[in-house]
Chain A
C-alpha cells in the first residue's frame, strides 16, 4: 500500500502501524508528533494505529526557533 509521509510517497507493507513507520525512519517516537489524515495521534496510539492505503501523514517535531 502507498502512503504519503511529509509530502513523499512511500510504500508500506499492509498491516503496518505508525510505530513501524517511525522505526523505519529511525525516529524517536517520544519527540515526534504524528498527524494522520488531519488528526493528531496520541503517543500510546502509535503502536496500534494501522496505516491505510492513501493515508496522509505529517511527522512533526521541535526545531530551533526564537
Chain B
C-alpha cells in the first residue's frame, strides 16, 4: 500500500483535472481511473461564467485534492498560490510547480527548493514537481518534501520516460515516495515507470485528450497495476550479451 505523509492510497495512479472536454467526461474518466488523488489548479473566478465550478463535479470524499501552483514563475508566486490553495481547499496538500519558462514549462530547481523549505515549515505537505535530477530529489527530501515528482519528459510531450536513467537513481536513493509525473503519453509508459519501482504516476493529458478518455483512464489503471505487480514480482535484467554458464575468473588461489 502506498503511503504519503501518513495517508494511504489504494491506487497508484493519480489523476489530473485539466484539459477535459467537459466536466462530465472528467468525472467519468476519474472514476474509471480508480484514482484517489487528483490535482487541481487555482484561477481567478471568471465573472462572465460564475457557474463553471469544478468542485461541483469532484466528490471530495472520493478524491484527495492536490492543488498545484501552476503558473508560478518563482518561489514567491508559488508560496502565494499555496496560501490561496490552502484557503480554497482547506487542505495542506500541495503539488509545488515553479515553471518560469513558458515554452517548455520545465521546473526551476532553485526556486522549487527554496519554496519547499519555506512551505514545509509552514505546515504544508509538499509534493514538488521536479526535473529528474537525483541530487535535487535528495535535497528536496531533506527539506521535508513528502514525495518527489520527477518528470518522465517535458509536460504534454507524450514522450514517455526519457529521463529513465536518472529516475532509476532517484528511485534507488529516495526515502520518500517517487511519483513520476509529466510526459507519460501511453499506458506502456506508465507501466514502465511502475516496473522501474516508481511508487505512483500522475497522468492528466494522456487521459484527458484521448479519443475516449474513460477507456483510456481504465487502460492506465490496468497498466499501473501490471507495472507494480511486475516490480514486486522481481524482473529479470535485459542483457545485451549472453553470459557464459561457467565463467572463469580464476579462484584457484582459494584454499
* Residues of chain B in range 55-102 having any CB-CB distance to chain A below 8 Å: 55, 65, 67-68, 70, 83-84, 87-89
A27 lies within 8 A of chain B by Cβ: yes
User: A64 to chain B: closest CB distance in Å?
Assistant: 4
With a cutoff of 8 Å between Cβ atoms, the chain B residues found around residue A41 in the complex are 87
B142 at the interface (CB under 8 A from A): no
CB A55 to nearest CB in B, in angstroms, measures 16
Partner of B19, one of A7, A26, A66: A66
Segment at the interface with A among B2-10, B45-53, B157-165? B45-53
With a cutoff of 8 Å between Cβ atoms, the chain A residues found around residue B53 in the complex are 28, 31, 61
With contacts A25-B50, A26-B50, A28-B53 taken as known, whether A62 is within 8 angstroms of B89 at the C-beta atoms is yes
A38 nearest CB neighbor, chain B only: B80
A66 and B50 form a contact (CB under 8 A): no
Q: Contact between A65 and B18 (Cβ–Cβ < 8 Å)?
A: yes
CB <8 Å contact, B68 and A66: yes
Known: A28-B53, A64-B20, A66-B205. A59 touches B45 (CB 8 A): yes
Select one of B39, B45, B87 contacting A65, CB under 8 A: B39
CA of A43 to CA of B35 in the docked complex: distance in angstroms?
29
Cβ of B40 under 8 Å from chain A: yes
B35 → chain A closest CB, angstroms: 12
Select from chain B the residue with minimum beta-carbon distance to A7. B44
B42 close to A25 (CB less than 8 A) = no
Closest to B71 in A: A65
Interchain CB contact under 8 A, A33 and B87: yes
Contacts of A40 in B (CB 8 A): 83-84, 87
Asked if A62 meets B47 with Cβ closer than 8 Å, knowing A33-B88, A40-B83, A42-B87, the reply is: no
CA distance A32 to B202 in the complex (A): 26
B175: which A residues are within 8 A, CB to CB? none
Say whether B54 faces chain A, with CB atoms less than 8 Å apart: yes
Q: Is the CB of B18 within 8 A of A25?
A: no
Known: A5-B47, A28-B53. A63 touches B40 (CB 8 A): yes
Q: A40-B84, A66-B205 are in contact. Are A61 and B18 (CB under 8 A)?
A: no
Beyond A61-B45, A64-B16, 15 extra complex contacts between A and B, CB < 8 Å: A27-B50, A28-B53, A33-B42, A40-B83, A58-B44, A61-B53, A61-B54, A62-B40, A62-B41, A63-B41, A63-B54, A65-B18, A65-B41, A66-B204, A66-B208
Residues of B within 8 A of A (CB): 16-20, 26, 39-45, 47, 50-51, 53-55, 65, 67-68, 70, 83-84, 87-89, 155, 202, 204-205, 208
- A-B residue pairs in contact (CB < 8 Å), sample of 5: A32-B45, A35-B84, A59-B45, A64-B41, A66-B16
